A and B are shown apart, each in its own frame.
Chain A
Amino acid sequence: MTTPTKTATRRGALKTLAGGAAAAALPLWARYTHAQSAEPIRIGFQQHRTGIGAAYGRWYGRTTEAAVGLINAGGGINGRPVEIVAEDDGTDPKRGAEVVEKFANQHGCDVGFGTLFSHVVIGSAPRAGELKLPYFVVSEGTHVSSGMLNRYTLQPGITDVRSQVISMAPFITETLGKKVTMIFPDYGFGYDHRDALAPAIEAQGGEVLAKIAIPPSETSFTRYFPKIPRDTEVLYHVMVGPAVLTFVKELGEFFGGQGPALFGFIDSLEAVAINSPGLDFLEGSHFWEGMCRHQQPDETAHEAFYREAVGVDARGASVNDPADVSTYGHMFGCWETLHVIKAGMEAAGYRGPQDRAALIEAVEAMSDMPQSREHPQGAKRFNGKTHQVFGHQFISQVKNGTLMRVHTTAIEDSLYPDMVDYTTQAF
């Protein structure tokens, strides 16, 4: 049997010609041929609407909405409006990869954006790389700068755990104590803390006595606490998940007013009011904050503008519901990342998916970002080789139930040698 070869027939040629003519005549078609299209720029927003990251997802959503509103009010990107296509990933890595696929193949998004939980980032980034979809994460994980991911994944709006830890370790050892025990969530983000803290504390002449991992889906915590060694001077705690309020409450009940000094990441308290019943014991303890939840006396105009735009009051709660406390220490990352996307697209003259590589190169070329309305958290320095941004870190102390900033680290304190050069990878 022979395979019939396709030959051009008169009928076929006529069909093709007719189709082509019809397509060319369509007025809709014509819009795409112009460089300055009125089509919106579509940003796929991978949102943790459900699952263990739901509280973050809610506020990442509100911040994104506010930032896009501001960008659109200012004329959009390259004169085109920005449209957010939000998809729930259930804070689940497998679902995350599927969401990235939907962005690229189904929704026709220009970029993917907004993922926080590190296991979702690590699960989704390889797919984004395969689909050649620029993937702007807002995660804090060191997975971007460690070289674990790919050229299509960038973190230009929020600093990573390693830089946070090394810049704050001197404060911990000098102010609180040298014998540290750490409690961290048992997954990617927690491992960044685990791997970064011990070397940073040892470099200051201190020592990490014990490392206690707790699954982020845990609901009861007291049984983990007896592993804290008796001679601990500082308890370094960072916890995420729906039960963080239970975590801090049980921590207070466990120590009962005694015990080591506490140094926490605000993650342990994100979306939780600090004056919740049972949290009085936090008075005097220290927290890392990505951005100060409670309004500081020296708040900058940029930050005040941002605070109002995202609808958050002086206590860091929603202006509509004081019980709805924000994830203020992290969500600024969405705001800043969206402005980096805008700046990158404008620098690259971005027209459509054919310019994705140019967009990444434009972001890679960025370095210093001064504090501004676009960067209300503070000045930043982007490292194009490692795709990671560096910035200031804040340490706050609970005074009369309010988080007051007591220390700000310099950008230089948070730098570390490059672990990867993504610019050498092919697109």
Chain B
Amino acid sequence: MDLGPYLVLATLEGAVTAAVLALTAVGLSLVFGVMRVVNIAHGEFFMLGAVLAWWVATSVGGHPALGFGAALIAAPLIVGALAMAADMTILKRLDYDPERTIVATIGLLYIIQQLTLMGYGPEARPVEAPFNTRLAIPWVEHGPEGWQMIWPWGLGTTTYKLAVIGAAVLILCAVWAVMARSRLGLVMRATQADREMAMAFGIPVERVYAITFGLGAGLAALAAVLIVPIQQAHYLMGADPLLLSFIVVIIGGLGSLPGTVLAAVLIGLSDGIISVFFSPTLAKIIATLLVALVLVFRPQGLFGKRAT
């Protein structure tokens, strides 16, 4: 394929990756920022969202949009509730100790993954997109009769992929609004700034923690519901988003939402473009190398604040 159409396609593919990644990583970043918990089970909450989306969509039946719509609401809520329960029964009892919570969330990862395998099985199952029309993108080429418009094969996207990008932008705006403008955001930011001071001011820190953990997991589940009509629900699908989310969160700065979003766009787009021009493996190598460089030269991340 020629360079121009190639680049357009790569950017579109990268934008879809970036959109889903931004949602997942913001969830991870939120949990770390407020609770100082490194949630290794984050990818499994993502997977659980996709699996529940399949379950809800098939139970509802009817027009694909009905099932998908129900999944879009139900899956993140169920996953969020599960995560809150995990927070109250496990993380709280470990006093949110950074090392012990890492081990606990690793355990949680395996429990969720294996329970899904036992209940849902090892198959990959599709969820039908509510709408999915291919959009061909025209290209201008200098042919024998001068400049003319052509419709090369391969250059196109689908309405659903564009909708995923749009939905991710909307959800991220909503997260920003909650964090910056709402009372919940205020107490979350207060807890993030100084847990003990927040407690002294009567903020129910434990409840804030549970809500934050649920919100983080719910965002991952929401991202999964959006992607599941493009990919498929599978019990091992949590590994990639977890790795990429960590890459994004480290580059963006742990706990910084704007940094996370910017890093997600950067990693998503570069992943798309490098994958199309070279190979997806190289894209992962470069992303991981970037993490190493950031850790060496700017350990707080691009937007993070240095710990004092």
Binary interface encoding of chain A residues 189-215 relative to chain B, with 1 for a CB under 8 A from any of its CBs, else 0: 000000000000000000000000001
Contact check, B230 vs A220: say whether CB atoms are below 8 A apart. yes
Q: Which residues of B contact A223 (CB under 8 A)?
A: 10, 13, 272, 275-276, 280
Number of A-B contacts (CB under 8 A): 87
Contact check, B231 vs A219: say whether CB atoms are below 8 A apart. yes
- Assuming the contacts A219-B240, A220-B231, A243-B234, asked whether A254 and B280 have C-beta atoms less than 8 A apart, the reply is no
Q: CA of A43 to CA of B157 in the docked complex: distance in angstroms? A: 50
Q: Which residues of B contact A245 (CB under 8 A)?
A: 124, 126, 232
Say if the beta carbon of B156 comes within 8 Å of chain A.
yes
Contact check, A55 vs B123: say whether CB atoms are below 8 A apart. yes
Contact check, A226 vs B154: say whether CB atoms are below 8 A apart. yes
Contact check, A226 vs B276: say whether CB atoms are below 8 A apart. yes
Q: Which residues of B contact A219 (CB under 8 A)?
A: 231-232, 234, 237, 240
Q: CA of A219 to CA of B47 in the docked complex: distance in angstroms? A: 13
Contact check, B154 vs A225: say whether CB atoms are below 8 A apart. yes
Say if the beta carbon of B132 comes within 8 Å of chain A.
yes
Q: Write the chain B residue with the least CB distance to A250.
A: B230
Contact check, B153 vs A54: say whether CB atoms are below 8 A apart. no
Contact check, B234 vs A242: say whether CB atoms are below 8 A apart. yes
Q: Which residues of B contact A255 (CB under 8 A)?
A: 153-154
Q: CA of A51 to CA of B124 in the docked complex: distance in angstroms? A: 10
Say if the beta carbon of B9 comes within 8 Å of chain A.
yes
Residues of B110-158 whose CB lies within 8 A of A: 117, 121-124, 126, 128, 132, 134, 136, 151-154, 156, 158
Q: CA of A277 to CA of B160 in the docked complex: distance in angstroms? A: 14
Contact check, B10 vs A246: say whether CB atoms are below 8 A apart. no
A residues adjacent to B (C-beta < 8 A): 49-51, 54-55, 57-58, 215, 217-220, 222-228, 230, 242-243, 245-246, 253-256, 258-259, 271, 276-278
Say if the beta carbon of B6 comes within 8 Å of chain A.
yes
Contact check, B231 vs A50: say whether CB atoms are below 8 A apart. no
- Assuming the contacts A219-B232, A223-B10, A277-B128, asked whether A242 and B123 have C-beta atoms less than 8 A apart, the reply is yes
Q: Which residues of A contact B134 (CB under 8 A)?
A: 253, 256
Q: What are 10 A-B interface contacts by the 8 Å CB criterion?
A: A54-B122, A57-B122, A215-B281, A219-B240, A226-B276, A246-B231, A254-B156, A256-B153, A258-B151, A271-B123
Q: Counting chain A CB atoms within 10 Å of each CB, which of B10, B126, B275 scores highest?
A: B126
Q: Write the chain A residue with the least CB distance to B136.
A: A256
Contact check, B230 vs A276: say whether CB atoms are below 8 A apart. no
Q: Write the chain B residue with the least CB distance to A53.
A: B122
Q: Write the chain B residue with the least CB distance to A214.
A: B280
Q: CA of A259 to CA of B155 in the docked complex: distance in angstroms? A: 11
Which 6 pairs from chain A and chain B are nearest by CB?
Answer: A54-B122, A242-B124, A258-B153, A223-B275, A259-B153, A226-B1
Q: Write the chain B residue with the least CB distance to A324.
A: B123
Q: CA of A261 to CA of B6 in the docked complex: distance in angstroms? A: 21
Contact check, B154 vs A54: say whether CB atoms are below 8 A apart. no
Q: CA of A139 to CA of B6 in the docked complex: distance in angstroms? A: 37
Residues of B208-235 whose CB lies within 8 A of A: 230-232, 234
CB distance from B110 to the nearest CB of A (A): 13
Q: Write the chain B residue with the least CB distance to A277.
A: B128
Q: CA of A173 to CA of B124 in the docked complex: distance in angstroms? A: 34
Q: Which residues of B contact A57 (CB under 8 A)?
A: 122
CB distance from B59 to the nearest CB of A (A): 14
Residues of B155-174 whose CB lies within 8 A of A: 156, 158
Contact check, B1 vs A243: say whether CB atoms are below 8 A apart. no
Q: Counting chain B CB atoms within 10 Å of each CB, which of A227, A245, A256 scores highest?
A: A256
Q: Which residues of B contact A258 (CB under 8 A)?
A: 151, 153
Contact check, A50 vs B10: say whether CB atoms are below 8 A apart. no
Contact check, A276 vs B154: say whether CB atoms are below 8 A apart. no
Q: Which residues of B contact A276 (CB under 8 A)?
A: 126
Contact check, A51 vs B122: say whether CB atoms are below 8 A apart. yes
Q: Which residues of B contact A230 (CB under 8 A)?
A: 1, 152
Q: Counting chain B CB atoms within 10 Å of each CB, which of A49, A55, A226 scores highest?
A: A226
Contact check, A243 vs B124: say whether CB atoms are below 8 A apart. yes
CB distance from A247 to the nearest CB of B (A): 10
Q: Which residues of A contact B117 (CB under 8 A)?
A: 50
Binary interface encoding of chain B residues 1-30 relative to chain A, with 1 for a CB under 8 A from any of its CBs, else 0: 100011001100100010000000000000
Q: Which residues of A contact B154 (CB under 8 A)?
A: 225-226, 228, 254-255, 259
CB distance from B217 to the nearest CB of A (A): 21
Q: Which residues of B contact A222 (CB under 8 A)?
A: 9, 13
Q: Write the chain B residue with the least CB distance to A258.
A: B153
Contact check, A242 vs B128: say whether CB atoms are below 8 A apart. no
CB distance from B30 to the nearest CB of A (A): 25
Q: Which residues of B contact A277 (CB under 8 A)?
A: 128
Q: Which residues of A contact B275 (CB under 8 A)?
A: 223-224
Q: Write the chain A residue with the least CB distance to B132.
A: A278
Q: CA of A55 to CA of B123 in the docked complex: distance in angstroms? A: 6
Q: Write the chain B residue with the least CB distance to A229.
A: B1
Q: CA of A255 to CA of B136 in the docked complex: distance in angstroms? A: 9
Q: CA of A217 to CA of B280 in the docked complex: distance in angstroms? A: 12
Q: CA of A223 to CA of B1 in the docked complex: distance in angstroms? A: 12
Q: Which residues of B contact A55 (CB under 8 A)?
A: 122-123
Q: CA of A253 to CA of B156 in the docked complex: distance in angstroms? A: 8
- Assuming the contacts A223-B275, A230-B1, A253-B134, asked whether A243 and B232 have C-beta atoms less than 8 A apart, the reply is yes
**Besides A223-B13, A259-B153, 8 other A-B contacts (C-beta < 8 A):** A215-B281, A219-B232, A225-B154, A227-B1, A243-B234, A246-B126, A253-B134, A258-B153
Q: Counting chain A CB atoms within 10 Å of each CB, which of B5, B154, B156, B158 scores highest?
A: B154
Q: CA of A115 to CA of B179 in the docked complex: distance in angstroms? A: 53
Q: Which residues of B contact A259 (CB under 8 A)?
A: 153-154
Contact check, B280 vs A242: say whether CB atoms are below 8 A apart. no
Contact check, B232 vs A50: say whether CB atoms are below 8 A apart. no
Q: CA of A259 to CA of B134 in the docked complex: distance in angstroms? A: 15
Q: CA of A57 to CA of B126 in the docked complex: distance in angstroms? A: 19
Binary interface encoding of chain B residues 242-271 relative to chain A, with 1 for a CB under 8 A from any of its CBs, else 0: 000000000000000000000000000000
